[in-house]
């Protein structure tokens, strides 16, 4: 099992927002940028506008699991920030999964074709 690395510093998030490439759907926005490391780093943001802490944490867990499931299909050496949008709490896991795959394909950070 791979070790999961997280983005925690505000400056890393801000750098991705300013200089990273991004794509969006109605539920997610993904920002990415190369990081010159041998592994990927993931950051997840969910605004308080999305609901109470329980809802936001549930959403973060779902996004983290989706990322973990598709991590092997992605390029290595990138920083990735996933921003949950207003509609994200209302949709099911599979819609979030489809949107994540769609965005990573659109951004060109997937290495394998979809099955």
Distance CA 9, CA 7 (A): 6
Q: Give the start-to-end residue ranges of the domains of the chain.
A: 10-107
Q: Which two tokens stand for residue 39?
A: 């592994």
Q: Which two tokens stand for residue 101?
A: 């795959």
Closest CA to 45 of 33, 35, 31, 34: 31
Neighbours of 75 (CB within 10 A): 15
Distance CA 29, CA 84 (A): 7
35 CA to centre of own chain: 15
pLDDT for 111 equals 80
pLDDT for 1 equals 46
Distance CA 114, CA 21 (A): 22
Are the beta carbons of 13 and 7 closer than 8 angstroms? yes
pLDDT for 113 equals 56
pLDDT for 4 equals 72
pLDDT for 112 equals 65
Tens-level pLDDT at each residue, the chain (115 residues): 466 789 999 999 999 999 999 999 999 999 999 998 899 999 999 999 999 999 999 999 999 999 999 999 999 999 999 999 999 999 999 999 999 999 999 999 988 655 4
pLDDT for 78 equals 94
The CATH number, out of the four listed (3.30.365.10, 3.30.450.20, 3.30.230.10, 3.40.50.1000), of the domain defined by the range 10-107: 3.30.230.10
DSSP tag of 77: S
pLDDT for 83 equals 97
């Amino acid at each position: 099992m791979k070790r999961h690395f997280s983005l925690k510093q505000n400056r890393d998030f801000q750098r991705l927002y300013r200089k990273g490439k991004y794509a969006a759907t109605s539920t997610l926005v993904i920002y990415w940028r190369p990081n010159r490391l041998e592994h990927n780093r993931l950051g997840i943001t969910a605004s308080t506008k999305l609901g109470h802490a329980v809802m936001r944490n549930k959403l973060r867990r779902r996004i983290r699991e989706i990322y973990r499931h598709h991590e092997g299909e992605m390029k290595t050496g990138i920083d990735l920030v996933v921003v949950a949008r207003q509609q994200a709490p209302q949709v099911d896991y599979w819609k979030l999964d489809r949107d994540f795959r769609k965005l990573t394909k659109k951004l060109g950070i997937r290495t394998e074709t979809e099955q």
